[in-house]
Structure 1
Amino acid sequence: MELSLRRLRMLRELHRRGTVTGVAASLHYSPSAVSQQLAQLEREVGASLFERLGRRIRLTELGVLLTEHADEILGAVERAEMALERAQDGVVSRLKAGVWASVASGLLPMALTRLAQEHPGIEVRTTELAPEDTANAVLDGALDFSFVIEYSDYAIPWDPALAREVIAVERLHAAVAAGTCPESPVSLAAFAEQPWVLAGPTSHFGRAIRLACRRHGFEPRIVHQVEEQATALAMVNGGLGVTLASDLVLNTVPEGVEVIPLTEPVLRTVSIAHRSAHPTRRPLELVIDAVRAAAAERGLAAGSALP
């Protein structure tokens, strides 16, 4: 019997998530591909590994047993990869990273250019995800590391299986149509009666801003709910409302939008998350150093990170 690492990883994810759709989303396969691979795994083993319970799937005793061994096998593969990297002085590697829009545009170009110049043997491949999904993608083993955020007004739950390295601290600023706000800096409460352009309440950004507004005594009147800051800024440019913009998007603000500092800043910490079960891989350490250097050049000091 020869067991496929890819199929073992799918089986482990099935045990965690309980649905083929969940496995497909976490590992970036189609549901039909996951079903085919799991069926092939059952044929290779020659026994039933799972059973359907309505829309969910539960592993049999043999399935659970194989999953326990899969954890050991996949962990051993990771350790072998790390050992090879250390034997090569840690300068040859390919890393998979989870990013979101403002990090991809505001930090990565500078960081990866620096990395290519200083350590050309390290290749970073990126996948853009919603900020809410990046940490889980690292936990699942689909990515080596991801960028994650935490807000001063919203403490985000953290899994102890992940380690995080603080990269930068951003301030959020009021973004309004040019000429419509005479004060600078301005209190968030000044926008209590204004229409807002804001992300939904299930996103980290949307949740954090709602909490910040409530701390200032009002509920934002959201007229346009959009998830991307670039879209929100375009709508502000059209006079459709106000929003908040982070430091990393300031170089993409349209000419008709004015960015105004807040009297009581809303902060967010940008970190890199990676699995904490093993020592940090040397190539990842070099990536972290390059990103921190890029953040420092942008004036986003990591020394003022959130507690």
Structure 2
Amino acid sequence: MEPSLHRLRLLRELERRETVTAVAGALDYTVSAVSQQLALLEREAGTPLFERRGRRIGLTDAGVVLAGHAETILSAVEDAGHAMESARAGVGTTLTAGVWASVATRLLPEGIRVLARDHPGIGVRSRELAPEDTTGAVRDGSLDLAFVLDYSSYTMARVPELTRAPIAVESLHVVAPRGWIDADEVALADLASRPWVLAHPRSHFGRAVRLACREAGFEPDIRHEAGEQSTALALITAGLGVTLASDLGLSTTTADVDVLPLSDGLTRTVSIAYRERDARRRPLQAFVDAFTEAALGLGLDTP
């Protein structure tokens, strides 16, 4: 049996995600293509590798054994690639980074500029994902690294295989329609009677702000749910409520809103997550250094 690396990668992801649909979504394949490749792998193995468990697909004993070998083989292939990358001193290396909207708008261009200045042989590709989806993509190898967030009111769950390098701390600010609030500084409790525009509680940001409001003694009256910061700010401009925005997120504000300091001191830490086994990759460390410098250049606080 000589299975392809491609099919072994699909097997590894199926063990992690347990559904063909989840594997297809993570690796950007169609469900039928994943199913066909897994069926071919099973025929090559000459023994059942999969078994249906309700809506999920489990691995048989033989499937578990092969998945273990797949992990070893794929890790060795990645290690070989990284060794060659180090031997080339980063020449011709391209890193794929997971980003979200405010990072892509401000930090990404500045970080790439610094990286190109100091390490012109390192290229960057980016993929925009929701902050809560980035760590899984790094773990499965779809991304080399990703930007992640920890709010002072709510930290993101840790993934054991990943390391985080904090690069900046952002403050959160109150954003309100022009003239709504006559004050130089606002506490969350002052917004208890105001209508809110906020992301869904399944989002990391939406959950963090709700928890902070509850800590301040109230449940926010959310009139409009908006996942994108730019959408939320447009609704604020139209006079439909208040929201919070980070330092990076303020880049999309307009002159028709007021931005006020938040006395509660709510912050979020921006980190770069990568796999522990990649910690010695010189291009990756160069990326972290460049974006740390870029964040400082944008006026963000250091961790």
Give the TM-score category using the shorter length: over 0.9
Match of 1:229 in 2: 229
In structure 2, do the counterparts of structure 1 residues 285 and 91 end up closer, same or farther at CA, with 3 Å as the change threshold?
Answer: farther
- Aligned-residue offset at 1:20: 0.3
* Amino acid in the other structure paired with 2:255: E
Question: Does structure 2 retain, via aligned residues, the 8 Å contact 1:91–1:283?
Answer: no
SS in 2 for 1:133: helix
- Aligned-residue offset at 1:193: 0.4
* Amino acid in the other structure paired with 2:8: L
**Map 1:142-161 → 2, pairs under 5 A:** 142-161=142-161
Match of 1:184 in 2: 184
- Aligned-residue offset at 1:145: 0.7
Distance in 1 separating the partners of 2:31 and 2:98: 21
* Amino acid in the other structure paired with 2:25: A
Normalised by the size of structure 2, how large is the TM-score?
A: 0.96
Match of 1:194 in 2: 194
**Map 1:53-202 → 2, pairs under 5 A:** 53-202=53-202
* Amino acid in the other structure paired with 1:148: V
SS in 2 for 1:300: coil
SS in 1 for 2:167: strand
Normalised by the size of structure 1, how large is the TM-score?
A: 0.95
SS in 2 for 1:277: helix
Match of 1:292 in 2: 292
- Aligned-residue offset at 1:90: 2.8
Which stretch has the larger CA shift, 233-242 or 247-256? 247-256
- Aligned-residue offset at 1:279: 3.2
In structure 2, do the counterparts of structure 1 residues 234 and 299 end up closer, same or farther at CA, with 3 Å as the change threshold?
Answer: same
Distance in 2 separating the partners of 1:201 and 1:177: 23
Any stretches of 5+ residues in structure 2 without a counterpart?
none
* Amino acid in the other structure paired with 1:74: L
Distance in 1 separating the partners of 2:252 and 2:121: 31
Match of 2:248 in 1: 248
Question: Does structure 2 retain, via aligned residues, the 8 Å contact 1:195–1:222?
Answer: yes
- Aligned-residue offset at 1:278: 4.2
Distance in 2 separating the partners of 1:45 and 1:82: 30
Distance in 2 separating the partners of 1:31 and 1:254: 43
SS in 2 for 1:7: helix
- Aligned-residue offset at 1:69: 0.4
Any stretches of 5+ residues in structure 1 without a counterpart?
none
Distance in 2 separating the partners of 1:44 and 1:257: 63
Match of 1:4 in 2: 4
Question: Does structure 2 retain, via aligned residues, the 8 Å contact 1:197–1:242?
Answer: yes
- Aligned-residue offset at 1:84: 0.5
CA deviation vs aligned residue, 1:203-236 (integer Å, no higher than 9, x gap): 1101110111111111100000111111000000
Question: Does structure 1 retain, via aligned residues, the 8 Å contact 2:131–2:148?
Answer: yes
In structure 2, do the counterparts of structure 1 residues 44 and 94 end up closer, same or farther at CA, with 3 Å as the change threshold?
Answer: farther
Question: Does structure 1 retain, via aligned residues, the 8 Å contact 2:138–2:273?
Answer: yes
